[in-house]
Amino acid sequence: MKEFLLLFRGGDSHMGKLSPDEMQAHMQEWMQWMGELTKEGKFSSAQPLIDTGKVITGTKKVVSDGPFMEGKEVVGGYLILKANDYDEAVNLSKDCPILAFDDGTIEVREIQELKM
């Protein structure tokens, strides 16, 4: 089985507009989705990301604050799942709660196995 990295973007602008009850219900949807992936043996790990960070650039290794980009482009979290191929990974991703928001996106990337 292969591992895939799901990068979650967007949705943050809508989260601030939710009532506390709506926020709790939305978080419960995440827990249910990840719980189902776990039951199926497809869940590996996941974490939300803080919206600040550092960017290191080029041969001079210039460090700057960041990332500074439009909200819908900022990676807000990730999940690593196990799937047989891209089609399965994409199908498993379609139930993700971030897609409840118009600007919510998931980038699905296969993790390359390093041979050492």
Cα 49 to chain center, whole Å? 9
Residue 115 lies inside a defined structural domain of this protein: no
Helix, strand, or coil (residue 95): coil
Domain that includes residue 85, residue range: 2-110
Task: Look at residue 82 and tell me if it is in a domain.
Answer: yes
50 in any annotated domain: yes
Does residue 101 fall inside a structural domain? yes
**Model confidence over 15-41: pLDDT tens digits?**
778 889 999 999 999 999 999 999 999
Q: Is residue 116 part of a domain?
A: no
Asked whether 94 and 83 are in contact (CB, 8 A), the reply is: no
pLDDT for 70 beyond 90: no
Please state the φ and ψ torsions of residue 94, each to the nearest 5 degrees: -65, -20
Per-residue pLDDT band at 68 (split at 50, 70, 90):
low
Q: Does residue 12 have a pLDDT over 90?
A: no
**pTM recorded for the entire structure:** 0.86
Asked if residue 93 belongs to a domain, the reply is: yes
Q: Is residue 14 domain-resident?
A: yes
Whether 64 shows a pLDDT value over 70: the answer reads yes
Output the domain CATH number for residue 101: 3.30.70.1060
Buried b vs exposed e over 77-95: b needs ≥16 C-beta within 10 Å? Answer: bbbebbbeeeebbeebbee
Instruction: Quote the number of domains for the chain.
Output: 1
Query: E-assigned strands of 60-100?
Result: 62-66, 75-83
CA distance 35 to 2: 19
